[in-house]
Each structure stands twice: as C-alpha cells, then as structure tokens.
C-alpha cells in the first residue's frame, strides 16, 4: 500500500482521480485502526471508487494533560488493515506540514461545539473542524465517512459542511461495539482488566434509558436519574456528563417528544470514555 505523506502529492493524486471521473471517499482517522474504522472503510469502498484513509494524530485537538504523546500509533499495522478492508490510499502527513510556522486559521462552528464534550474540552471541536476542513481541501472527497460514536463531532462536521457550502456528502455509520456492548475505540486498549470489566455499564445504561423512552417515558429527568443510579453502582466509574438532548441542536430537553440523543462521558481510571444512543418513543 502506498502511503502519501506529502500534502502536494496528495492533492495531485486526488485531482488526477477526480479528472478520471472517480468518486472519491475519505475516512478520516487518527490511526490505531479497529473494527469500527474498518467498517467505515468497507462502506466507503461500496459507495465510492477510491477510498483514502487519512491517518493523522491531530495535536491541536488534544487539550493540556491529554494523551497526545501516548496516543497509540502503528502505521505499518494500520496499512495492513486498510488493505484488508479495501482502502486504496493512506494519507499520513506530519504535524509540521499540517501546521507550519505562522499557522493562524481555525474554523469555529459555534453553539453545537459548546455542550456535552465541549464543556470539558473547550478547544476540541474547533480543532476537529479545522483539521477535517483541511483534509477535505487536500483530498477533495465526494463523500466522507464518520462513526456515530463521536456523535457531537458528526453534528459539528455536518454543520460546517452545510454552513460553508462544501459539496461533500457526510455519512455517519452506527457505532461498532464489542460483544459486551463497549463502543470500539483506539483508547480501549488503555483500560486495565478491572476497568475493562466495568466498562459495559455505559452501553447497558444507555440501552435501559432508550427502552424507557421507547416505552413512552417523557420525563428526561427521570431517565437521567436511572442512568446515573446505574453508573454510580460502579465505584471505578465517575460521571463527566449525562445528557438528553435534541439530536440536531444538542440542546438539553426536559420533555421527550421525537428523535432524541442520550449521550454520556465517564472517567474510568485515567481514561475518559464516551458513548451515545439515538432513540425515539415507539410509534412517533
Ligand atoms: O474521530 C477522529 O478520529 C478525529 O477526531 C478526526 C475526525 C480524524 C479528526 O482528527
């Protein structure tokens, strides 16, 4: 598998493929690929001609004290996985090429970056929107593929694409989970055996909350309390946030009417894990 590291070469490759009439797909990642990423690559391959997988651990989206330096990196292993899933090209630029000296420009998507993960990671979504915008400019995809696990990220990117009139289809695919329900993440490998054992409580509590909504419980506060009670039974887990929001604006709701997002972030040991579920009352 050819790996392009140089921005100009990537732009030239993408331009050539577009001129040949190829439909370009992009799967943006930070590497350390798992089954969730591979599902995105397979889906991209079924919907486009040329699938580029970007592998770039974006320094600007890690806050102070976060795990940028220790974030798992394995370009060779990732290349094998990209081939097995049908990807055509890896784009893996250096941080100094992406952010050369004098770099100044950032994309601020506004309100949807503020709640949920934005509360404890205030610069995060500005950095994500910026790097994704840069990847879109370099790779010029017709379609880009993201996972629902990072639901807020997908809302931010869809908003950016709409507001800035970018001619790109954003496709969000369901979260891929371990057999016990834990959402797949490159960071799961950091969990100790004991921490890993308690981690399915996230999805269990979301599933119970979703059942309550499907059974027409309308009171968001009652549902939030049920999730909280369940998570608090696990002493290794501490809650960052649990929220029930409108699925597009990400604004908290008190009364559940239609399509609803239940999202949470917790800390288990040193790790911060996020998960979410989209749900709605039965028959609505
Ligand atoms: O979801 C991720 O892995 C990253 O946030 C992304 C979209 C690749 C941007 O760095």
74: β partners: none
29 Cβ inside 6 Å of ligand 1: yes
How many angstroms is it from 132 CA to the middle of ligand 1? 8
Ligand 1 atom having least distance to the Cα of 30 = 3
Question: Sorting pLDDT into bands at 50, 70 and 90, what band is 65?
Answer: very high
Question: Sorting pLDDT into bands at 50, 70 and 90, what band is 2?
Answer: confident
Tens of pLDDT, residue by residue over 97-136, are: 999 999 999 999 999 999 999 999 999 999 999 999 999 9
Residue 103 has a CB neighbour count (10 Å cut-off) of: 11
pTM: 0.97
The encoded tokens of residue 5 equal 């590291």
Q: Which H/E stretch holds residue 54?
A: strand 50-55
Per cent of the chain over pLDDT 70 is 100
Q: CA 156 to CA 39: how far, in whole Å?
A: 22
| Residues 242-249: contacts with CB under 8 Å, at least 24 apart | 243/115, 243/116, 244/209, 244/220, 245/115, 245/116, 247/278, 248/155, 249/111, 249/112
Query: What is the structure's pLDDT at 160?
Result: 98
277 Cβ inside 6 Å of ligand 1: no
Q: CA 267 to CA 284: how far, in whole Å?
A: 34
User: Are the beta carbons of 278 and 244 closer than 8 angstroms?
Assistant: no
Whether the pLDDT of residue 208 is over 80: the answer is yes
User: Are the beta carbons of 156 and 128 closer than 8 angstroms?
Assistant: yes
Query: What is the structure's pLDDT at 72?
Result: 93
What average pLDDT does the segment 19-34 reach?
A: 98
**What are φ and ψ of residue 28, in 5° steps?**
-80, 130
Catalogue the active-site residues.
37
User: Are the beta carbons of 25 and 44 closer than 8 angstroms?
Assistant: yes
Q: Which of 210, 183, 189, 207 has its CA nearest to residue 266? A: 183
Whether the pLDDT of residue 24 is over 80: the answer is yes
Whether the pLDDT of residue 139 is over 90: the answer is yes
The overall average pLDDT reported for the chain is 97
Tens of pLDDT, residue by residue over 238-284, are: 999 999 999 999 999 999 999 999 999 999 999 999 999 999 999 87
185 Cβ inside 6 Å of ligand 1: no
Query: What is the structure's pLDDT at 260?
Result: 97
């Amino acid at each position: 598998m050819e790996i392009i590291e140089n921005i100009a070469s990537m732009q030239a490759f993408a331009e050539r493929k577009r001129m040949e009439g190829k439909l370009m797909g992009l799967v943006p990642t930070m590497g350390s690929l798992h089954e969730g990423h591979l599902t995105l690559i397979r889906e991209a391959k079924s919907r486009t001609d040329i699938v580029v997988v970007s592998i770039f651990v974006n320094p600007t989206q890690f806050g102070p004290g976060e795990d940028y330096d220790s974030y798992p990196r394995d370009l060779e292993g990732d290349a094998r996985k990209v081939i097995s899933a049908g990807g055509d090209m890896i784009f893996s630029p250096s941080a100094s090429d992406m952010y050369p000296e004098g770099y100044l420009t950032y994309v601020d998507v506004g309100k949807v970056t503020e709640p949920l993960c934005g509360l404890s990671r205030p610069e995060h979504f500005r950095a994500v929107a910026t790097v994704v915008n840069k990847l879109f400019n370099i790779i010029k995809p017709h379609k880009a593929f993201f996972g629902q696990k990072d639901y807020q990220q997908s809302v931010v990117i869809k908003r950016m694409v709409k507001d800035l009139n970018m001619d790109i289809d954003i496709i969000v695919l369901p979260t891929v989970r371990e057999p016990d329900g834990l959402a797949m993440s490159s960071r799961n490998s950091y969990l100790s055996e004991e921490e890993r054992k308690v981690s399915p409580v996230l999805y269990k509590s979301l599933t119970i909350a979703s059942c309550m909504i499907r059974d027409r419980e309308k009171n968001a506060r009652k549902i939030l309390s049920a999730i909280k009670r369940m998570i608090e039974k696990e002493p290794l887990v501490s809650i960052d946030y649990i929220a029930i929001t409108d699925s597009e604006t990400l604004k908290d709701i008190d009364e559940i009417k239609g399509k609803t997002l239940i999202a949470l972030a917790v800390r288990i040991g040193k790790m911060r894990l996020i998960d979410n579920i989209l749900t709605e009352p039965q028959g609505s």
